[in-house]
Amino acid sequence: MQSDIIQQFGNFTDYEMKLFSVAVQERKIFKNEFLLQEGSICQSLYFISSGSFIQYKIKDEIDQQIIDLHLANEWMLNPQSFVRQQPSETFIQAFADATIYELTVHAMHDLIKQSPVFFQLAKLLEPAHSRIQLFDNQLSPGEKYRFVLDNRPGLLLAFPLKMIASYLKITPETLSRVREKFAK
């Protein structure tokens, strides 16, 4: 496991890095496999080494509401379920075959017991939570699309536009119009 995936959250000694590498487990995940299902409690943080994932709610019998989209080199979890240890209202599902590193809540607590420096791992929760909240505010469709272009352009290559539109909380037709304006 690459040490730089947690070094961005603090200064860890070689010993602490060794503790961390023992605590995380590498897993291979296949397309359409679930990491979390609605009603289950999120027990882990995941670092995506390769592949992609969708986090969504079921709107009705045939439609999903995309909550977040995840690519390689990102941390992923359901922050509300993980922090509160309450049943999840969302699913996390592999969109493509993937390799992930899993850090369970129990392993995280063990790390913190061994070294208080691991309290810094709480920073892993911030990007996921802020991305989920980002599109719940009053940004215009153009501002939402600009955010993706500026901060997460890989989403446009990895996911169908219908999913991108759901993630941005706009209709596919609105996304098409916005994309046309940006293409000019």
Global pTM value: 0.88
Rounded-to-integer distance, Cα 53 and Cα 75, Å:
11
Kindly calculate the radius of gyration of the chain based on its CA atoms and give it in whole angstroms.
Answer: 17
Residue type, 89: E
pLDDT tens string 55-78: 999 977 778 899 999 999 888 999
Q: CB of 17 within 8 A of CB of 3?
A: yes
Residue that wins the pLDDT comparison between 113 and 129: 113
pLDDT tens string 90-126: 999 999 999 999 999 999 899 989 988 888 777 766 6
Rounded-to-integer distance, Cα 72 and Cα 100, Å:
9
